[in-house]
């Protein structure tokens, strides 16, 4: 899987789902100086699409800062090279489940946080979600995408890799990922309110991912028509 780059192709297929790029673009139109944090950027495949959606035809970008982060320093180094020409880019080796201050991250720094299939492998999910809430500015948005629980084919391909099971909870003998109800409860426990749930297919057997838009409970009364 790793030596012939097949893993990268599997990851791209795994992460296919509801296209968040138009939504991110919509959020950026409402606040073109947004600060954006991408968690678990991995190979940068999502980053490329997001940056395209945030760049106008005349080359202007609709963000003041875009931070690519990953827990792997190797991935971050590769991203620095891959996106060296992109404006307003920042790069950080960052573990969302660990103490923020120890990693030089302050609270209420970001308008948009993007997390695509990066939370379910974490051993400390509640800490990660709590940190996301701390990082969000008032009226900021978390754009969360996670595996749908019927995606059994992923176990056959990736189940042979030890890291696939890192986030497995007690009683999860079949798969390490969760359904949308689990994430809604987990987000609520962390002080985040789900404002929209989006799926890549209405057919459960075809669905690979569920996507959610969440915001801090302290800003849940905020209303702006252009935002979800």
pLDDT digits (tens, 9 = 90+) for 99-157: 999 999 999 999 999 999 888 778 788 999 999 999 999 999 999 998 776 666 677 77
**pLDDT tier at 227 (50, 70, 90 boundaries)?**
very low
Average pLDDT of span 50-61: 92
User: What does the mean pLDDT of the chain come to?
Assistant: 82
pLDDT, tens only, 151-202: 666 777 777 776 667 666 545 556 667 888 889 999 999 999 999 987 665 6
Residue 172 is predicted with a pLDDT of 53
Cα–chain center distance at 158: 20
Give the span between the Cα atoms of 127 and 113, in whole angstroms: 16
Average pLDDT of span 45-49: 89
Q: Is the pLDDT of residue 2 over 60?
A: no
Read off the pTM: 0.83
Which residues fall within 8 angstroms of residue 120, CB to CB, at 6 or more apart?
146, 147, 167, 176, 177, 178
Q: Is the pLDDT of residue 213 over 60?
A: yes
Q: Is the pLDDT of residue 16 over 90?
A: no
- 45-54, 188-197, 214-223: the lowest-pLDDT one: 214-223
Nearest partner of 55 among 12, 92, 24, 18, judged by Cα: 24
Q: Is the pLDDT of residue 88 over 70?
A: yes
């Amino acid at each position: 899987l790793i030596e012939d780059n097949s893993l990268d192709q599997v990851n791209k297929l795994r992460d296919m789902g509801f296209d968040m790029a138009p939504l991110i673009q919509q959020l950026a139109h409402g606040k073109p100086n947004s600060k954006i944090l991408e968690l678990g950027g991995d190979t940068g495949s999502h980053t490329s699409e997001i940056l395209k959606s945030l760049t106008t035809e005349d080359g202007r970008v609709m963000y003041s800062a875009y931070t690519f982060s990953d827990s792997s320093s190797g991935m971050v180094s590769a991203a620095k090279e891959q996106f060296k020409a992109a404006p307003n880019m920042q790069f950080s080796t960052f573990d969302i489940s660990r103490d923020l201050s120890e990693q030089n991250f302050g609270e209420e720094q970001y308008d948009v946080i993007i997390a695509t299939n990066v939370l379910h492998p974490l051993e400390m999910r509640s800490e990660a979600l709590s940190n996301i809430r701390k990082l969000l500015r008032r009226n900021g948005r978390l754009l969360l995408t996670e595996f749908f629980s019927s995606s059994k084919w992923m176990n056959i391909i990736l189940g042979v890799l030890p890291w696939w099971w890192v986030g497995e909870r007690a009683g999860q003998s079949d798969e390490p990922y969760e359904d949308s109800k689990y994430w809604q409860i987990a987000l609520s426990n962390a002080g985040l309110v789900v404002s929209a749930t989006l799926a890549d297919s209405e057919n459960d057997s075809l669905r690979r991912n569920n996507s959610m838009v969440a915001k801090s409970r302290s800003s849940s009364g905020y209303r702006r028509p252009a935002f979800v």
